[in-house]
């Protein structure tokens, strides 16, 4: 696809991490314009923590890998001005400590995220169930203000399905290339 | 000392006096024994000095293990995309006609009904991963419809969205859904999304002349905001219409393309997309129509047809000469051809995707010829066969055809007396149709037959739709038939009425005589049996016993398996058209020459 200088255009970032039983973790970061069209896509090669990391990091391993390592590396690649960073993985919220972007958890009302209920401040934006870490309460106002540009009808959970499909396709492509 | 005397008076009033003698209580006091230190002058004992010994461990330093916690080296791969402007043209929301209320309701409906997600899938021939990801990362169609500013009159079926998702990314595509599944709507929606996404700027739609008004109507329904130009009128007007730059969609008919050949094939003119409706019209690669449409400059080529193969696999080759030249050729075996076109063709049938569509009930009306008809028929057949036999090697296919048509006409009506067993049966059925307030379509291949039927069925309220009805009046005929409750029957020729019409308000279809090709019959039947049909559609197929019609029917049944030959794993190459041998065989005559093919 032809490239065009659209850095000035505001965008939304969607970060997720996929756990692959065999290969490990794949990170994906999709940057969309406000009409929901893709501007950038970044993904990682598989990341697999070793045994020592698993033992020593304990319960902090996921935030470390999802946020500090994978999230930070992917967000650093982005060239567009991202208004809000969305993720569907609670552990990836840790990226907030390393990037200057208001970061929000999407689909925060689902049972998958029940464990983090005490650490999250939940709120609604349109029909999107969102949450920010209690330690980052100021992000909530920023998120709501900036998301007004896309409107409340925007389904913030839908792009994560695209990322998963793209990572699977990229992985298949890599496998074909390797073969 | 207290002077109690001062209180004498008050005490006297309270009639209370202190007791004369106070009680004395004795408290025992114990003596506290205090220890005293005595003999201060005795010296304190001196403690014995403590001897210490320094013990140095004999072992080496304790072993220690250092575990390095290295930061993972995250390797990333990046892709950049350049989406076209979101609303590149000026026909956006301002020209929408539907109300916001409807839009909101539709969005809610879509969220509840379309549980699945329909994503664009890259065509198999998209090699670059970046290009494949571009399609995969586009919003789902449900998202585009529910969140965007595009209005839809009603929610599309899931299979229709899949059809749109199939067309959208493809440069070459054949949408070959069975009639009645909404190919028109799918094509219009795909065109609409491409235009709004800025992926294309101009589209040319080519269809048979009778269907132009139908396409215009469908565009106003499914894409009301898109300016559409119908190419028509005299040469000067057409020239002006062809050059309209701010009209993204142009509709032209096949016949007109022949006349405007120089304009449309001008090398300086090019369309981003050319869509051919009823693309079986170009199955003959040597025909002028095929030649002209193949010469139109274009970036994308789509073909719409309910019958991609009417008579032989060559039909498909003809269509692909426009869609993807060279992808298939005549010498290919059916299985190989099926594999080669698999990614280009999308075909769905009603029984697979529209389980909620009312059933289609077939009823074969086998009727005996009347006495007069039988005598006339027998005489004509014997004379005809005798003549053909006498002609010997000089007998041609045309001679046989003449006899076939002559006999079929006798099966409809006795030319001398006008008697008709079929008509008697039809009248009996129409009595019931009219009495129940229903409407019926009667198909015949001859206008002359339809004209006779018009007179004989007048009491049922008859409308006519065939080649003798002026194209300008045809729209009005359909409208009158639909609205006028006194009109119960519309008489149609296969040629004029078998494609593109929406008559789903009819519950009955009568095939007064049979067409050579089952695909054409299916098209005719599906005028009524399509989306929107309120109830079952009953199809009555007339067949006179022990006549040429019965023999033709046997061949038709074999031809119905045509699609299976192409689209299944069957690897037997069968002759799918009528051969000269088969036509002569209708009369048990020996074919004088080798097999030839016949276009239906």
ipTM of the complex: 0.88
pLDDT of residue B588: 60
Taking the C-alpha atoms of residue A122 and residue A108, their distance in angstroms, rounded to an integer, is: 7
pLDDT of residue B180: 67
Inter-chain contacts counted by CB atoms under 8 A, chains A and B = 117
Express each pLDDT in A13-57 by its tens digit: 999 999 988 889 999 999 999 888 899 999 999 998 888 888 888
Whole-model pTM over 0.80: no
Taking the C-alpha atoms of residue B566 and residue B172, their distance in angstroms, rounded to an integer, is: 19
A35–B86 C-beta distance less than 8 A: yes
pLDDT of residue B379: 93
Q: Calculate helix-pair angle for B313-323, B288-295, nearest 10 degrees.
A: 30
Q: Give the DSSP H/E element, type plus range, for residue B350.
A: helix B350-353
Window 72-111 of A: residues touching B by CB (8 A cutoff) are: 73-74, 77, 79
> Average pLDDT for residues A124-146, to the nearest whole number?
92
pLDDT of residue B15: 56
Taking the C-alpha atoms of residue B493 and residue B515, their distance in angstroms, rounded to an integer, is: 10
Burial B281-313 (b: 16+ CB within 10 A, else e): bbbebeeebbbbbbebebebbbbbbbbbbbbbb
Residue in chain A closest to B137 (alpha carbons) equals A162
pLDDT of residue B526: 85
Taking the C-alpha atoms of residue B178 and residue B348, their distance in angstroms, rounded to an integer, is: 6
* A150 pLDDT higher than 80: yes
A35–B83 C-beta distance less than 8 A: yes
A40–chain B nearest CA distance, Å: 4
Determine phi and psi for B272, rounding to 5 degrees: -70, -25
B146–A49 C-beta distance less than 8 A: no
| Closest listed residue to residue A82, CA positions, set A108, A106, A65, A103 | A103
Does any CB of chain B come closer than 8 Å to the CB of residue A117?
no
pLDDT of residue B522: 82
> Distances from the Cα of B19 to the Cαs of B23, B77, B116, in angstroms?
9, 111, 105
The shortest CB-CB distance from A169 to any of B78, B80, B132 is to B132
Sign of CA pseudo-dihedral B96, B102, B104, B105? negative
* A147 pLDDT higher than 60: yes
Residue in chain B closest to A173 (alpha carbons) equals B129
SS (H, E, C) B417-470: CCCCHHHHHHHHHHHHHHHCCCCEEEEECCHHHHHHHHHHCHHHCEEEECCCCC
> Distances from the Cα of B449 to the Cαs of B31, B225, B411, B431, B459, in angstroms?
148, 44, 11, 20, 17
| Residues whose CB is less than 8 angstroms from the CB of residue B21 and which lie 6 or more positions away in sequence, other chains included | none
Tell me the two tokens of residue B36: 């005293």
Residue with tokens 């916690």: B69
A49–chain B nearest CA distance, Å: 8
The shortest CB-CB distance from B76 to any of A49, A77, A165 is to A77
A3–chain B nearest CA distance, Å: 5
Under the banding of pLDDT at 50, 70 and 90, the label for residue A2 is very low
Residue in chain B closest to A162 (alpha carbons) equals B137
B146–A47 C-beta distance less than 8 A: no
Question: Do β-strands B297-304 and B172-175 pair in parallel, antiparallel, or remain unpaired?
Answer: parallel
Residue of B136, B144, B196, B197 to mutate when probing chain A, most A C-beta within 10 A: B136
The shortest CB-CB distance from A36 to any of B78, B131, B139 is to B139
Sign of CA pseudo-dihedral A9, A67, B134, B159? negative
Burial A13-40 (b: 16+ CB within 10 A, else e): bbbbbbeeeeebbbbbbbbbbbbbbbbb
Count of other CB atoms within 10 angstroms of residue B457:
21
| Closest listed residue to residue B296, CA positions, set B226, B211, B205, B195 | B205
Give me the tens of pLDDT residue by residue for chain B, a chain 600 residues long.
Answer: 444 444 445 544 555 565 666 677 777 777 767 676 666 677 777 878 888 888 776 666 777 777 776 776 889 899 988 766 544 445 544 344 333 334 443 443 444 334 468 888 888 888 888 889 999 999 888 887 776 567 787 778 888 999 999 999 999 999 998 776 789 999 999 999 999 888 899 999 999 887 787 798 889 989 999 999 999 999 999 999 999 988 999 999 999 999 999 999 999 999 999 999 989 889 888 899 999 999 999 999 999 998 788 777 888 999 999 999 999 988 888 888 888 999 999 998 877 777 767 777 788 888 889 888 999 999 999 999 888 888 877 888 888 888 999 999 999 999 889 999 999 989 988 988 888 888 999 999 999 999 999 999 999 999 999 988 888 888 889 889 989 999 999 999 988 876 667 888 888 899 999 887 777 888 888 888 877 777 788 898 899 989 999 888 877 777 666 655 666 543 333 444 456 666 666 666 555 544 333 333
Lowest mean pLDDT among A104-118, A158-172, B341-355: A104-118
Determine phi and psi for B281, rounding to 5 degrees: -65, -20
């Amino acid at each position: 696809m032809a490239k065009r200088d659209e850095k000035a255009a505001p965008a939304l970032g969607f970060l997720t991490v996929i756990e692959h039983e065999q290969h490990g973790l794949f990170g994906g970061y999709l940057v969309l314009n406000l009409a929901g069209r893709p501007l950038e896509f970044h993904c990682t090669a598989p990341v697999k923590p070793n045994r020592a990391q698993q033992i020593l990091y304990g319960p902090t391993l996921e935030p470390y890998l999802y946020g500090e390592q994978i999230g930070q590396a992917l967000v650093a690649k982005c060239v567009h001005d991202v208004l809000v960073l969305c993720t569907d993985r609670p552990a990836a919220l840790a990226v907030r400590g390393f990037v200057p972007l208001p970061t929000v958890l999407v689909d925060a009302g689902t049972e998958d995220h029940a464990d983090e209920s005490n650490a999250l401040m939940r709120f609604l934006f349109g029909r999107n169930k969102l949450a920010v870490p209690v330690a980052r309460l100021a992000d909530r106002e920023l998120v709501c203000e900036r998301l007004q540009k896309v409107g409340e009808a925007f389904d913030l959970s839908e792009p994560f399905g695209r990322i998963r499909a793209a990572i699977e396709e990229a992985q298949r492509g890599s496998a074909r290339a390797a073969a | 000392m207290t002077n109690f005397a001062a209180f004498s008076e008050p005490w006297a009033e309270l009639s209370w006096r202190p007791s004369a003698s106070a009680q004395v209580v004795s408290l025992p006091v114990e003596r506290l024994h205090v220890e005293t230190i005595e003999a201060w002058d005795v010296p304190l004992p001196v403690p014995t000095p403590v001897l210490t010994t320094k013990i140095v461990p004999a072992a080496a330093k304790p072993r220690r293990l250092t575990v390095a916690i290295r930061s993972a080296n995250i390797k990333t791969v990046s892709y950049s995309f350049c989406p076209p402007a979101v609303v590149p043209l000026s026909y956006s929301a301002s020209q929408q006609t539907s109300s916001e209320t409807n839009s909101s309701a539709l969005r809610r409906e879509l969220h509840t009904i379309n549980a699945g997600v329909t994503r664009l899938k890259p065509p198999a021939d998209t090699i670059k991963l970046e290009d494949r990801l571009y399609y995969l990362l586009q919003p789902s169609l449900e998202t585009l419809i529910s969140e965007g500013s595009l209005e839809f009159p009603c929610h599309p079926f899931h299979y229709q969205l899949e059809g749109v998702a199939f067309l959208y990314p493809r440069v070459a595509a054949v949408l070959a859904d069975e009639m009645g599944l909404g190919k028109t709507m799918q094509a219009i929606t795909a065109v609409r999304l491409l235009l709004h996404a800025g992926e294309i700027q101009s589209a040319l739609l080519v269809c048979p002349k009778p269907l132009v008004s139908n396409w215009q109507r469908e565009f106003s329904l499914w894409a009301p905001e898109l300016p559409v130009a119908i190419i028509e009128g005299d040469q000067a007007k057409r020239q002006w219409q062809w050059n309209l730059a701010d009209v993204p969609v142009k509709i032209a008919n096949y016949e007109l393309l022949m006349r405007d050949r120089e304009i449309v094939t001008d090398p300086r003119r090019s369309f981003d997309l050319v869509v051919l409706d009823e693309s079986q019209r170009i199955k003959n690669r040597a025909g002028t129509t095929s030649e002209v449409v193949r010469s139109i400059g274009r970036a994308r080529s789509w073909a719409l047809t309910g019958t991609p193969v009417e008579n032989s696999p060559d039909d498909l080759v003809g269509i692909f000469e426009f869609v993807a030249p060279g992808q298939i050729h005549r010498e290919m075996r059916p299985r190989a051809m099926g594999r080669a076109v698999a990614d280009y063709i999308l075909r769905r049938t009603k029984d697979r995707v529209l389980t909620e569509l009312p059933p289609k009930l077939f009823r074969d009306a086998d009727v005996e010829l009347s006495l007069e008809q039988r005598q006339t028929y027998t005489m004509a057949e014997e004379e005809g066969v005798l003549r053909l036999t006498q002609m010997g090697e000089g007998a041609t296919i045309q001679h046989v055809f003449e006899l076939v048509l002559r006999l079929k006409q006798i099966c409809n009506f006795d030319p001398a007396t006008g008697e008709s067993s079929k008509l008697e049966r039809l009248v009996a059925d129409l009595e019931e149709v009219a009495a129940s307030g229903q409407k019926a379509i009667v198909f015949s291949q001859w206008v002359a037959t339809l004209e006779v039927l018009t007179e004989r069925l007048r009491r049922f309220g008859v409308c006519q739709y065939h080649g003798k009805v002026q194209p300008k009046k045809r729209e009005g005929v359909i409208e009158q038939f639909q609205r006028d409750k006194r009109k119960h029957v519309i008489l149609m020729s296969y040629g004029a009425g078998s494609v593109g019409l929406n008559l789903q308000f009819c519950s009955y279809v009568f095939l007064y005589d049979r067409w050579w090709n089952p695909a054409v019959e299916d098209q005719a039947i599906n005028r009524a049996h399509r989306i929107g049909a309120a109830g079952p559609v009953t199809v009555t197929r007339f067949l006179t016993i022990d006549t040429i019609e019965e023999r033709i029917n046997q061949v038709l049944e074999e031809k119905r398996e045509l699609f299976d030959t192409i689209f299944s794993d069957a690897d037997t190459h069968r002759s799918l058209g009528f051969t000269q041998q088969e036509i002569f065989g209708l009369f048990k005559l020996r074919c004088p020459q080798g097999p030839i093919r016949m276009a239906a």
